[in-house]
Amino acid sequence: MKVSEKLKVINKDIQAAAERAGRNTADINIVAVTKYVSNDRTQEAVDAGLVHLGENRPEGFKEKSETISGDVNWHYIGSLQSRKVKNVINEVDFLHSLDRISLAKEIQKRAEKQVPCFIQVNVSGEEQKHGLSPENTSQFVEELANYDKIKVIGLMTMAPLTEDKEVIRSCFKQLAELRKEIAAKNLQHAPCTELSMGMSNDFTIAIEEGATYIRIGSSLVGE
């Protein structure tokens, strides 16, 4: 199916979820995750009107950002090894996976301008997942005051892989609560207004819980 057709379906679901939550769809951004698909399919996504693209590996990120034409905001959504920072950071418009001081240090050293970042939080506590524990997130954000190349625009999480919608919802709710607490501190380097959460399987729940960036791959551009 064409990306534009899939996008129509997804936009309907976004609209319905936003209505249920009393939210404006203008506050919900789709990040098209193109990690599984070719450059041609990615270009099709841009031509269909998608302006946010996400990749989760340095190699894929570089290839896509060098090949795709159009006015694209580039999102780096995967875990990023410190030694790879220099390869991508100056092409990254949004980083979704800041989760440790060593990474912040490397960004500070390599970035030529300020990078809008989401702090990745491992709300569900699964061992194999990257991200800070909710307990440590607030302190971590405060420490980032010393890094002027980093602007904390929000928090990011991945819900656990489960069919249980209430478990997923609870994960998103906790992230939203944490975001509020951090934003209430009015830190100059950390407005923390955004929530990056929700993927193909759970983006409607994420919208109901306040997501402002949803990251959609398989159901939008394909696997």
Ligand X SMILES: *Cc1c(COP(=O)(O)O)cnc(C)c1O
Total binding residues toward ligand X, as defined by CB under 6 A: 13
The residue within the footprint of ligand X, chosen from 6, 35, 64, 75 (CB under 6 A), is 35
Per-residue interface string for the shown chain with ligand X, residues 48-87, x marking contact by CB under 6 A: --------x--------------------xx---------
> Nearest approach, Cβ of 217 to ligand X (angstroms)?
3
> Nearest approach, Cβ of 85 to ligand X (angstroms)?
17
> Nearest approach, Cβ of 9 to ligand X (angstroms)?
14
The residue within the footprint of ligand X, chosen from 3, 17, 33, 144 (CB under 6 A), is 33
- Answer for the pair 97, 76: CB distance below 8 angstroms, yes or no: yes
> Nearest approach, Cβ of 156 to ligand X (angstroms)?
8
The residue within the footprint of ligand X, chosen from 131, 134, 210, 217 (CB under 6 A), is 217
> Nearest approach, Cβ of 157 to ligand X (angstroms)?
9
| Residue 216 near ligand X by CB under 6 A | yes
The residue within the footprint of ligand X, chosen from 50, 199, 205, 206 (CB under 6 A), is 199
- Answer for the pair 142, 193: CB distance below 8 angstroms, yes or no: no
* Residues present in the chain in total: 223
Residue-by-residue DSSP string for the chain: --HHHHHHHHHHHHHHHHHHHT--GGG-EEEEE-TTS-HHHHHHHHHTT--EEEESSHHHHHHHHHH--SS-EEEE-S---GGGHHHHGGG-SEEEEE--HHHHHHHHHH-SS-EEEEEEB-TT--TT--SB-HHHHHHHHHHGGG-TTEEEEEEE----S-S-HHHHHHHHHHHHHHHHHHHTT-BTTB---EEE---TTTHHHHHHTT-SEEEE-TTTT--
Q: Which window, 9-17, 159-167, 177-185, 198-206, contacts ligand X (CB under 6 A)?
A: 198-206
- Answer for the pair 121, 134: CB distance below 8 angstroms, yes or no: yes
Per-residue interface string for the shown chain with ligand X, residues 164-193, x marking contact by CB under 6 A: ------------------------------
Q: Which window, 126-134, 135-143, 181-189, 194-202, contacts ligand X (CB under 6 A)?
A: 194-202
Residues engaged in binding ligand X (CB under 6 A):
33, 35, 56, 77-78, 158, 199-201, 215-218
